[in-house]
Amino acid sequence: MYFDVLLPSVLFVIIVFSMFLQRRLEKRMAFLIEESSISLREVFLIVVFMGVAVTAIAFIPGMAIQIIFLAAYSYVLFFFVYVAYKKWYLAIIPPIIFVYSYLHYWNLIVFNVFAVIFCIIITIYASGLFSWRMVWIFAILLTVMDVIQVFFTGFMGQSAVKMMRLKLPVLLLLPTYPYGLNIGLGIGDVFLASLLSIQMASRYGVKAGILTAATNSLAMFIFEVALLNTMFARFFPATLVVMAGSAFGLWAACMMRRE
């Protein structure tokens, strides 16, 4: 039987690190949301926009995608560091390092490092925008969109292949251990797992958040065992795995509280 422990372990570490970093920077990020949370209409529009973006990527020329992504990523890096340290001369360093690395020193390790950084930043930005109810509605709608774009339109797979060919860090691309293949997990899936775990920590405590990170990691391990031993799909909506892991974490946390 083939199995992989690297991706589930990396997923767990990213989620837990995002959770503790978000708690540390929560007050500094508070002014961005001004005590407001995303409404149901806004959640729906965000998911629609993400679905349209996935479709558009399948048709937009590669050079345009590179320019848009490099510009957007550089801005996100600059703004995040500036909010954290309030010094512009420090904030310009990460974007310069990113662009230089992408153009001159790009390998699998650097690729994954920037994918993780981007995922953590987006998670911290978004974590304060969702109420408990809205984050689960967002997760369900995002999963539905993911299923449609993977199984029915096929645009998710086309976009993923295109982004990988452009070497843009929009997914984790890791070797399976001990099996020896390469497997990818979109940073959107990691973002969703981290976002739900942070909400669990906010509502039920840090232990519940860590528990949810663990159940997400377990769900990913079980999914990979099935995938590696049957090869039932080239592309699969991993949001389904995240939803299963997060729902199990919520159930486990509730059971622990009752006891």
Token duo for residue 97:
């390092």
Give the whole-angstrom CA distance, residue 89 versus residue 242: 38
pLDDT-based confidence at residue 256 (cuts at 50, 70, 90): confident
Q: Give the number of other Cβ atoms within 10 Å of residue 44's Cβ.
A: 14
What's the pLDDT score for residue 167? 93
Structure tokens at 179: 């099996």
Quote the pLDDT of residue 83: 84
CB 171 within 8 A of CB 184: yes
Q: Give the CA distances from residue 154 to residues 54, 55, 133, 159, in Å, rounded to whole numbers and listed in that order.
A: 10, 9, 30, 9
Compute the radius of gyration of the chain from its Cα atoms. 18
Q: How confident is the model at residue 26 (pLDDT cuts 50, 70, 90)?
A: confident
Q: Would the pLDDT of 128 be above 90?
A: no
DSSP output for 146-214 = HHIIIIIS-HHHHHHHHHHHTT--SEEEEE-TBT--EEEEEHHHHHHHHHHHHHHHHHH-HHHHHHHHH
Least confident piece of the model among 29-38, 180-189, 240-249: 29-38
Domain boundaries, the chain: 6-258
Q: Is the pLDDT of residue 35 over 60?
A: no
pLDDT band at 38 (very low <50, low <70, confident <90, very high): confident
How many other CB atoms are there within 10 angstroms of residue 131's CB atom?
12
d(CA 144, CA 56): 18
Quick one: pLDDT at residue 178? 85
Cα angle value 208/76/97 (rounded, 5°): 110
Mean pLDDT of 196-223: 96
